[in-house]
Chain A
Amino acid sequence: MSIYRISTANTYDRALLNIQQRQSQLGVSQEQLSSGKRVLKASDDAVAATLSERTQNRMARTAADLRGLEASRRSLQQGESALATVTDLYAQAKELLVQAGNGAMNASDKLTIANQLKGIREQLVGLANQKDSAGNPLFAGLGPLSANGQPFVEQLADPLVNQTTYGPDGRSVTWDALRGQAAATETSLPMGLDGYRVFKGVVANSVGANVASNSGSFGAFAVNVTTPNPDVFDLSTDALGQSQGSYTIAYTAGAPGTWQVTQNNRTNTPLPGPAPAPYAVVPTVVGDTVELNFDGMSVKLKSDAAADFTTNASFTVRPAVDRDIWETLDRAIGALEQGESGHDLTQELNSVHAQLSVRQDQLLAARGKLGDWLNRADSMQNLFAERSVAYEKENSELVDVDMVKAISDFQKNQTAYQAALQSYSQVQKMSMFDYLR
């Protein structure tokens, strides 16, 4: 048997198989060229296909993060524009306060200014409750508590707890949301701000006290606190909800008579010993006003009829905590509406002015934070875009076809296929039988 011997039928079979292979290779090249993909099926390149799946997951994630970021950015922008308006309103309010302090103003001018301040107060409630385009409150901290989504609720005041220096005005703005600031993460930004920090919170070292009548009927009363006794009044922190000290002052005898002052609820720690025994204060009476000076405070009681100060008259003096911007404004409005004038009005307006300045600082801090987040939104967006491009590139390197290589492969395969066909037809034509004629 010769090693050169070949079987004719098998030669045909093999030649056919080879031609089919070439044709299928050409088909693959053609498919790659027309689709632009090197990996069309998992079996084309299992590793690249798997990695490409992962990369595409990352791309989808980046796209989703970007969607979330855009939503946050829209909300934050709306918050920023709301706060810009609030800044303007604060400036207007300050201007009005300066005007009101002008000695030339008569009572009706002051009422006008009071009305203007009321207008600002209303607008502020609206702005603080503003919602973004999706209906979520912008300044609700960790979320509102009521279905209407309002973190700031205008409601009737509890006369004993929520009152201004000028007596119960029948309204206050309460916080109806969860306090706290949502955090920015590497891939997301919060949807809103903690409105409490912007509009509410007891202003540090604010000085003042409220007087409530325990009996009798009085038109108005005022307290002027110069240096409060820290054992009774602690105004240094946001003491909302904490038990605070108070004074009870009660008329004892005579006209103008003496008043007895009792310290209640000395809750501050450390306690400086037992509470002192009630002590008597002799008032200064000027017309229908009774002024009591004790413990760094001067309390003015005012009545139309001196007879009102009877034996059973008693009052409670509590620290005036300016819980929010609305109460600050209410103090000014109250002072103007009650027809205060001269030194008292100036002092009151100055105090409101100072507090408004502190509130303005709060506002600026909040706007600074918003600005920072919006900047971060920009840089995060750039980061996402770059990431997206990088993933796109990675994916393309994994599964896309290298055109130069594909074209050259295609031509190589085409040439090979042609050669196979041509040689087949030529070689198979040859047979010894052709020569047996």
Chain B
Amino acid sequence: MSLNIAGRALTTNLAVLQTIGHNIANANTVGYSRQTTQLQQVPGQQLGNGYFGKGVEIASVQRSYDAFLTRQANATQTTASADAVRLQKMQQVEGLFPLGAGSLGTMLNSALNAWVDVQSSPADATARGVVISRSDELAARIRDTASRLDEIGTTAKLQSTQVVKDINLLAQQIAAMNDRIARSQSGPVPNDLLDQRDKLLADLGKKIQISTIGADDGTLTVFAAGSLPLVLGNKAASLSADRDPLDGDNKQVINFVQGTSKFAIQDEFLAGGELKGLQDFINKDLAQTKTSLGRMALALATEVNQQHQSGLALDGSPGGAFFNTGPLLGKGAATNTGTAAGLVMTVANGAALAASEYVVTYATGTDVTIQRAADGKYFNPALYSPGGSPPNDGFQSASVNIALGVSSVEFDGLTLNGAVGTAAGDRFLLRPAADAAAKLSVALQSPAELAVASRVSVAVASTNQGAAEIEATSVTLRQGSLPATPLPGLTLTFNAGTSQFALSPAPTLPATITPALAVNYTPGSPMTITYDDGAGPPSNQWSYQLTLRGQPSTGDSFALSQTTTGAVRYNAGNAQAVLALRDKQVFDGNTTLADGYVPVFSSVATKLGEVKFSAEFSQTQAASAETQRANQAGVNLDEEAAKLIQYQQAYQASAKYMGTVQSLFDTLMSAFR
């Protein structure tokens, strides 16, 4: 009996020491939960006057595991992983938008400001050349930035493909682990297998947010992206990263694959993990940055082209396009059933462009809905009134069918032309801005092609008595194109009583001018008279701008007429008009062209600041949750040392007890000798 107790005590304490050894050995094993040997006394035996204990025995080996702390640690880690990977990617983007001397804004301004020198000496080939080369540098930089953004996107897509592979592998391993755990379910709790599975779950949580439900057989069902069973018992499904059907070159979609069926996962349902960070980066951050950069490029090209085409080159010929952006084509989705290759767009108004992509969906073969990707709103032509008060861009929450057919529709400064061969259900993605940024280049070949001179010059009548001086004269193309022939002249005659200039001669119908009769005079601000040739539709429109200073007298007249070929080399009216574009509010109605880089930059900067903040925050949270979990489940070596001594002493005591029992037995035996 006593020997029994001693023997049991020895083996039990040795077992405890073995567990301590296991803990010490695994002190640095990731995911290891420390184990403790639970001891229990062997119930005593009544021997007449009392119960006599029978010693100690091992009840179980338990792992120190808290499901809630583990869940919390995993949940915070999954957010932290998403933020960390997004931050890392955004920092790569940040590198493309430097500050100060090397910034795109500096290049934009130096390209525009170069026109100052042309204005000072209009015929100077060097000054003209500088405008072209500065603009060329700017265009190259925008192209380069756009292609670097594409590269970063490609890398991110490769990375997410890798993450998806990792997820699939982990899912299989968890399924396998489920199998082993289920098979050992009949015996004692397989602590180390459970630890390993928890480790796999933690690893999986870093890649994609998951939730788990335990089953009676000890297996865990793992759900990803809300309710998709990634692991069910010992079966694992898989994910795949595929090209987005609408915008395969730039975006990607994650599909859930189970057997032969595929199910596209909305990005919103990916709540965390590296995959979420990458998807957000590819489909949102990068797309937005490209669009915002592209909008700057497209608006710049449109505004400068319109003004450049309104001027005269050194040889007196009409100016051509200054920038090339290539054709703007809305691409059809891979799933389209119609035969239309794409939808052609043109820019109607550079100042009305929005930093967004658009999705055109054919409800029928001819009717479409136009959805703005940036805010998800739909275009309703009935609401569209850009000149109203307040102006309405025509976008609303509810979708509206627009009968497009082969006609065209204008929204957000774009004109979208319908195409033949479209079918119901066809979708087209319009990304005019991003396309323009990728192709922006300077169209001019030689400095002489720079249209520095204004189409029209002003001449003061000999009889003028007043003191009005002329600040600027120019023509600006508004719509369509300018005739190659000399523009119709216009004479402004002052009336001091009304402070207006009367306009003459009235154009021959169908041509009209606005205002038709007289224009109000404010010193130092341009008087704009719009000429519509009445052709078309659409008709060609251009405006004459004349800025005067000082007080004219009644009857003073100012005649606008085509600039003569000889005068072209001394005229810098168009250069002056291009310079005035610097202060034109082009972006969202409140940012000037010269500040065009600021919205691009600030969207990157604020996004980055936000991502950085949330990455730091989520990392701190994850670290603290992990510390809480580890403090409960991890090994403390000092504790193990203390226990080692404790159980060593217990073992020694048991041995001593055994020795004592033996010596008692010996004493007894020697009594019979």
- Is the C-beta of A182 less than 8 angstroms from some C-beta in chain B? yes
Instruction: Report yes or no: A143 in contact with B595, Cβ–Cβ below 8 A.
Output: no
A1-B632, A7-B636 are known contacts. Are A137 and B602 too (CB-CB below 8 A)? Answer: no
A46-B602, A60-B110, A191-B120 are known contacts. Are A147 and B458 too (CB-CB below 8 A)? Answer: no
Instruction: Report yes or no: B594 in contact with A7, Cβ–Cβ below 8 A.
Output: no
Instruction: Report yes or no: A432 in contact with B641, Cβ–Cβ below 8 A.
Output: yes
Q: Which residues of B contact A436 (CB under 8 A)?
A: 641, 644-645
Q: Which residues of A contact B547 (CB under 8 A)?
A: 183
Instruction: Report yes or no: B631 in contact with A42, Cβ–Cβ below 8 A.
Output: no
Q: Which residue of A lies closest to B114 (CB)?
A: A64
Residue from B98, B119, B630 in contact with A68 in the complex, judged by beta carbons closer than 8 Å: B119
Task: From A236-244, A268-276, A344-352, give the one contacting chain B.
Answer: A236-244
Q: Which residues of A contact B113 (CB under 8 A)?
A: 60-61, 63-64
Q: What mask results when residues 47 to 62 of chain A are scored 1 for a CB within 8 Å of chain B, else 0? A: 0011011101100110
- Is the C-beta of B567 less than 8 angstroms from some C-beta in chain A? yes
Instruction: Report yes or no: B636 in contact with A42, Cβ–Cβ below 8 A.
Output: no
Tell me how far the C-beta of A12 lies from the nearest C-beta in chain B, rounded to whole angstroms.
8
Of A71, A178, A238, which is in contact with the most chain B CB atoms at under 10 Å from its CB?
A: A178
Task: From B357-365, B395-403, B459-467, B502-510, give the one contacting chain A.
Answer: B459-467
Of A41, A50, A136, A242, which is in contact with the most chain B CB atoms at under 10 Å from its CB?
A: A50
Residue from A10, A42, A134 in contact with B630 in the complex, judged by beta carbons closer than 8 Å: A10
Q: How far is the CA of A14 from the CA of B622 in the complex (A)?
A: 12
Q: Which residues of B contact A143 (CB under 8 A)?
A: 457, 563, 567, 570-571
Which residues 1-43 of A sit at the B interface, judged by CB distance below 8 A?
Answer: 1, 5-10, 12-14, 17, 39-43
Instruction: Report yes or no: B637 in contact with A182, Cβ–Cβ below 8 A.
Output: no
Q: Which residues of B contact A237 (CB under 8 A)?
A: 463
Tell me how far the C-beta of B624 lies from the nearest C-beta in chain A, rounded to whole angstroms.
9
Q: Which residues of B contact A52 (CB under 8 A)?
A: 99-100
Q: What mask results when residues 70 to 88 of chain B are scored 1 for a CB within 8 Å of chain A, else 0? A: 0000000000000000000
Q: How far is the CA of A180 from the CA of B569 in the complex (A)?
A: 18
Q: How far is the CA of A9 from the CA of B469 in the complex (A)?
A: 83
Q: Which residues of B contact A425 (CB under 8 A)?
A: none
Q: Which residue of A lies closest to B95 (CB)?
A: A41
- Is the C-beta of B389 less than 8 angstroms from some C-beta in chain A? no
Instruction: Report yes or no: A147 in contact with B569, Cβ–Cβ below 8 A.
Output: yes
Instruction: Report yes or no: A46 in contact with B630, Cβ–Cβ below 8 A.
Output: no
- Is the C-beta of A399 less than 8 angstroms from some C-beta in chain B? yes
- Is the C-beta of B550 less than 8 angstroms from some C-beta in chain A? yes
- Assign chain B's interface to a size class: 35 or more
Q: How far is the CA of A5 from the CA of B98 in the complex (A)?
A: 48
Q: Which residues of B contact A7 (CB under 8 A)?
A: 627, 630-631, 633-636
Which residues 96-122 of B sit at the A interface, judged by CB distance below 8 A?
Answer: 97-100, 103, 105-106, 109-110, 113, 116-117, 119-122
Tell me how far the C-beta of A47 lies from the nearest C-beta in chain B, rounded to whole angstroms.
8
Q: Which residues of B contact A54 (CB under 8 A)?
A: 595, 598
Q: How far is the CA of A226 from the CA of B508 in the complex (A)?
A: 50
Instruction: Report yes or no: B567 in contact with A49, Cβ–Cβ below 8 A.
Output: no
Tell me how far the C-beta of A136 lies from the nearest C-beta in chain B, rounded to whole angstroms.
6
Instruction: Report yes or no: A183 in contact with B470, Cβ–Cβ below 8 A.
Output: yes
Q: Which residues of A contact B463 (CB under 8 A)?
A: 237-238, 242
Task: From B250-258, B491-499, B604-612, give the one contacting chain A.
Answer: B604-612
Known: A61-B113, A185-B524. 15 other contacts (CB 8 A): A1-B632, A14-B623, A42-B604, A42-B605, A46-B606, A57-B105, A60-B110, A61-B109, A140-B570, A147-B565, A149-B569, A185-B549, A191-B120, A241-B462, A432-B642
Residue positions of B touching A, CB distance < 8 A: 27-28, 64, 90-91, 94, 97-100, 103, 105-106, 109-110, 113, 116-117, 119-124, 457-463, 469-471, 473, 524, 547-550, 558, 563-567, 569-571, 582, 594-595, 597-598, 601-602, 604-606, 608-609, 612, 623, 626-627, 630-639, 641-642, 644-645
